[in-house]
Structure 1
């Protein structure tokens, strides 16, 4: 099969980057440490093998945050007979792309907010530490990534990112599709917005990841606040490297995280989110964010108590 011309490939990628839709539906995917031979349909979503030792539980787009979390919890319970003990790993959050244009619900504005918010969330949820003190080995892959690309058009920005990444194999549409599926940037355009910034979390901390990400992106008032808080980060040098290595010990990231998490908790309270969910977000905020820490710090402290 003849390889796609790069210009045609860029047009195809841009055309399929977003399916414009009003924000509101929330989806999530959780990595699990498990050997799985085939895909299984669960109560709401799917459990699929990713590698010999990793499976992914993908929940469906759900009408709102609480429905998404409840369905994911159901499916995690349903996965137990298939894989034994369920040990959640990294968490991805899927949100609607937004509407055409740059208004409060516009996909242009949402793409930019996702880009500036992502390193803040990555720093807060960092939990794949390394002996050199790095808080997130997983996010260190993105250390050279700009917070916002120079291209302001989200569709063109996504196409440019995909085509400049190494590892593209095969010819034609199938090869391009495999290449896109294999990419795991912090913010991706997959018809919807995919935000992939969280390492494995303590206990059922995946709920905090979904809740904080969804409310800061989808609630107009919270999104406007998060935009104001994080927009200056686009000019910060080496921010992804700092998020991966220093996490919330970096004062700039720490200040942004404190403001964002307070805003997220207030938004959950304003919308009448369940007491359990609000308490869980409050506990994470107090234990980690307000103290300039992330879950990886607990691991690093256990190895080297005198580090801090």
Structure 2
């Protein structure tokens, strides 16, 4: 039985005000990190430009619409059995949502992105194992961030990913251990970590810990399921491509092997997140990994009998950007240079 929430759906467990000990907080974070399940269900959340984000959550046909910031709304879909169902449901909900928020003028807000939710995997490190999926998601993350860079500014091809430039590719420790360490050390809205609060004698309540966990937006998050948050906003219906690529590379057994072979060595690369944000696919190491991964993903979708329109969209993106060492951000930079 599927046990995850809709992407971005607030928890209800944090209504109580029980104050925690440091050990209890760590145990609670570890317990909620993963709900082991085999690959299969796929979810997505797509940010959309909004002149008037909704004041409260609005139910759509399958998921819901909510405000993310003053200029961005988010459409979050339910976990769906398989990629095609996920994309079809998201397409319906996006069509319903866009007239409700009225796209603003000017460039898309730099914080807008696309998040993909996939099952955590089974306990252990086998082909469908949590350990393997956690590791692959992390080594794959900067490759996908580079390929889908689309928020240029200040010398970056992805200003959105620039905030992650100091991150390691693969965090230390087993999945639960790594997530607990990240969640306890990440600063909250006041700039203090949860661990620092305990050391200062200002222990958070369970509700405050819930809010802290909900606010975290690492490239790979543990939400019971895996949340992959690496793709910038894409024009038109381009949101389908990062969802399909991530799902294919993590959920198809052969594609996962191919992606592991293409990205495992990246865990030893220095400054990779900064390179992904600044140089994107002009970086030869990231470009080579992206080519192998996109080809593997296309092959997986062809084996699965994915709709022709989806395969064509991925083939077009691969030809236009990945094989040429370009990203959507380069189109924006080229237009800006031509107008200068």
Normalised by the length of structure 2, the TM-score is: 0.86
Q: Which residue of 2 aligns with 1:250?
A: 283
Structure 2 Cα separation of the partners of residues 264 and 257 of structure 1: 10
Q: Helix, strand or coil: the match of 1:195?
A: strand
Q: Is the 8 A contact 2:49 2:103 kept in 1?
A: no
Q: Is the 8 A contact 1:36 1:54 kept in 2?
A: no
Structure 1 Cα separation of the partners of residues 280 and 69 of structure 2: 28
1:92-127 residue CA offsets vs partner (Å, 9 max, x unmatched): 000000001110000111000000000000000000
Out of 106, 127, 148, the position equivalent to 1:125 is 148
1:55-96 residue CA offsets vs partner (Å, 9 max, x unmatched): 111000000001000000000111134223598941000000
Q: Which residue of 2 aligns with 1:185?
A: 218
Q: Which residue of 1 aligns with 2:195?
A: none
Of 159-168 and 210-219, deviating more is 159-168
Q: Helix, strand or coil: the match of 1:142?
A: coil
Of 30-39 and 65-74, deviating more is 30-39
Of 264-273 and 245-254, deviating more is 264-273
Q: Helix, strand or coil: the match of 1:111?
A: helix
**Aligned pairs, how many?**
305
Q: How does 1:259-278 map to 2 (within 5 A)?
A: 259-278=292-311
The question of 1:155 aligning with 2:176 is answered yes
Structure 1 Cα separation of the partners of residues 272 and 154 of structure 2: 21
Out of 68, 71, 75, the position equivalent to 2:86 is 68
Q: Is the 8 A contact 2:46 2:113 kept in 1?
A: yes
Out of 107, 110, 114, the position equivalent to 1:91 is 114
Flag the 1:157–1:168 CA change in 2: closer, same or farther, 3 A. farther
Out of 148, 163, 172, the position equivalent to 1:141 is 163
Out of 105, 113, 126, the position equivalent to 1:103 is 126
Q: How does 1:221-236 map to 2 (within 5 A)?
A: 221-236=254-269
Structure 1 segments (4+ residues) deviating >3 Å: 84-89
Structure 2 Cα separation of the partners of residues 300 and 83 of structure 1: 27
Q: Is the 8 A contact 1:36 1:52 kept in 2?
A: no
Structure 1 Cα separation of the partners of residues 271 and 250 of structure 2: 24
Out of 29, 39, 57, the position equivalent to 1:23 is 39
Structure 2 Cα separation of the partners of residues 178 and 202 of structure 1: 31
Structure 1 Cα separation of the partners of residues 235 and 61 of structure 2: 24
Structure 1 Cα separation of the partners of residues 299 and 34 of structure 2: 30
Out of 276, 284, 290, the position equivalent to 2:317 is 284
Instruction: Measure how far apart 1:3 and its partner are.
Output: 4.7
Q: Is the 8 A contact 2:18 2:206 kept in 1?
A: no
Q: What RMSD over aligned residues (CA atoms) do the two structures have, in Å? A: 1.8
The question of 1:166 aligning with 2:184 is answered no
1:248-285 residue CA offsets vs partner (Å, 9 max, x unmatched): 00000000000000011111111111110000000000
Which ranges in structure 2 are unaligned for 5 or more consecutive residues? 1-16, 191-202
Instruction: Measure how far apart 1:172 and its partner are.
Output: 1.2
Q: Helix, strand or coil: the match of 1:232?
A: helix
Q: Is the 8 A contact 1:168 1:176 kept in 2?
A: no
Structure 2 Cα separation of the partners of residues 294 and 6 of structure 1: 43
